A and B are shown apart, each in its own frame.
Chain A
Amino acid sequence: MPGERKSYTAGPLDASAPAEETAFARLSARRLLTLAGIGMILAGMIFGDIFAVFVLHQNAARVGTSLSSAAQSAAAGDAAAVGSHFKDTGAFLENRGTKVDTHVHLIAFGYLALMLALAQPWVKLSEAARRRLAWLLVCGAALLPVGVFLIHYVGLAYSPLEAIGWASIFADLGGLMVLVATVGYLAGIVQHFRTRQPLLPDQLLGDRSTPARWLLAGGLILILAGFIHGAYYAGVDLYRHEAADYTILSQMSAAAAAQNQAQINQSLVDYGQLQGDKAVKIAAHAHIIEFGLLAMLLAFFQPYVQLSEIWKRRWAMVLLCGSLLLPVCVLMEMKFGLLAGGIADLGGLFVILALLAMWIGILRYTGSLDAMPSGVQR
């Protein structure tokens, strides 16, 4: 049974396709996209964890405080102070928004890189062209999140434009680079299918090992669960949340105009609850689908993970457990508070550790591949 192999190698390196088509050789497009893709996902997840622990809640508290101050200033009839407090709120929200965008884009570009790594046998371009496109994608995928992260700090300094600063300009340039690289790969795939060449068997796509099957099935079920939860959220909560957002702010401002302190305080509490409820539901939906997609992608890369079979299974299971634990516990945060939040963070840590282990396994594989004398196949 192939799944029971105790070998530390990832199977024969001479995949059925010719070397220039699918090889994982040094500096090949597939190797670059694979290693950079997993690296970007890891960086995005670690950044997300740091953001969640050190920035998210503190920032939410500051937004709440400045909104409260704005309401109190409105009650006192000080319109200038209201404007100043909302300026602070805008800055806090920008700080939060750009960090969320950094986290999301790093991970999404990592997924895109992994997918394009898998699609390499279908790209009918020379290896040099594919490698150039891979570098373009990786550079753009790094530039955009770094640019977005810097938006809050750079602002409009020395900008030639009225509303967009240099950090935004570079972030947009990064997005354009990724877009051009993706269009380039699409053109290569179209070319492949136009020439009606049969697809050569690929080592990655043919893997049927136990961890690969677990990851594929688990990932698919996580994605389906995420979609059903998203549909439920859109049907039951979305419009209610939107209406409540307006109603609470309207009540708060009316209470400020009437100098009704009790109502202002109640509205502030309600607003905080609403934002929390919205945030956990959207985060649970997004994370369960993202982790499902990640599990499915990693299923294909199992032949490159140079770890023993038992450890490949363990890490697959750790990844799936973490992928379920995080969204479920995030959903429970409103009810169980920090306890659920702590367990959710643990789930995130499981995913990061499993991903790191698989990345190291792939690095070991590249190391053993590069150590072989040229022309020798294992």
Chain B
Amino acid sequence: MSARQILLFGGIALAILGMSYGLWYAVFAEHQALDGIGHSLASGFQAAAERNSAARESSLLAYRQAKYTYDRQVDVHGHWIGLAMLLIVLAIAFDHVAFSEKLKQLLAWALLLGAALFPLGVLMQTWSHGALPRAIAILGPALVIAALTGIVVGFMRRQAA
């Protein structure tokens, strides 16, 4: 598989994954998540009005958890599609990168892996607060930034040539 094919197929597949996830989320999860955030926050302040400290604390903790999950679920949708678009554009521009095909393939795989892993790690954080999801969410952007830096260097070499 050429570097261009890796980016093009990977990009469109990621875009489809991100859109499917977004569609599922909009239909089955978003409204419930927003209701949960609003309800728990309102309950916290209503408990404060009733001077019920325990209920206030538990409602605000529920708010914190619901907000944490909601922010990440929205980020996953946005980042998967955003990174997918970047992959497709770079696939089209890959002729401008002055490296050997082998190195270009390595950069393409690193970029695709980073683009797939980063939102996945963020999504996994909504299931577990352990170290693994966070490690994946850090590894993903690190791969994307490293690969992008390589592509910029390859592009500059072409410009200089």
Contacts and interface: CB of A to CB of B under 8 A. Distances in A.
A84 to B, nearest CB: 9
B148 A223 contact: yes
A350 B13 CA distance: 34
A78 B89 contact: no
B16 A82 contact: no
Contact of A186 (B12, B27, B44): B12
A175 B26 contact: yes
Given A216-B96, A254-B56, A257-B51, A227 B141 contact: yes
Contacts, number: 165
A77 B26 CA distance: 37
A86 interface: yes
B93 interface: yes
A90 interface: yes
Interface residues of B, number: 61
Contacts of B16: 179, 182-183, 186
A168 B45 contact: no
A300 B93 CA distance: 9
Contact of A179 (B19, B46, B141, B144): B19
B86 A223 contact: yes
Contact of B49 (A82, A185, A220, A242): A82
A37 B88 CA distance: 15
B93 A112 contact: no
Contact of B145 (A70, A179, A224): A224
Given A175-B23, A246-B63, A205 B92 contact: yes
Contacts of A112: 15, 85
B89 to A, nearest CB: 5
B41 A86 contact: yes
Q: Is the interface of B mostly helix, strand, loop or mixed?
A: helix
Q: Is the interface of A mostly helix, strand, loop or mixed?
A: helix
Interface residues of A, number: 68
A257 B56 contact: yes
A223 B57 CA distance: 42
A73 interface: yes
Interface in A247-268: 249-250, 253-254, 256-257
A114 B35 CA distance: 36
Contact of B48 (A119, A253, A299): A253
Nearest to B2: A193
A175 B81 CA distance: 13
Interface centre among B137, B141, B149 (most CB of A within 10 A): B141
Contact of B64 (A119, A179, A227, A246): A246
Interface string A225-258: 0011011001000000010011001100110110
Contacts of B31: 163-164, 168
A213 B144 contact: no
Nearest to A91: B38
Nearest to A185: B12
Interface string A44-79: 000000000000000000000000001101111111
Given A250-B60, A253-B56, A296 B89 contact: yes
A210 to B, nearest CB: 11
A358 interface: no
* Interface pairs A-B: 8 shortest CB-CB: A86-B42, A79-B49, A253-B48, A257-B48, A74-B49, A74-B48, A246-B64, A79-B46
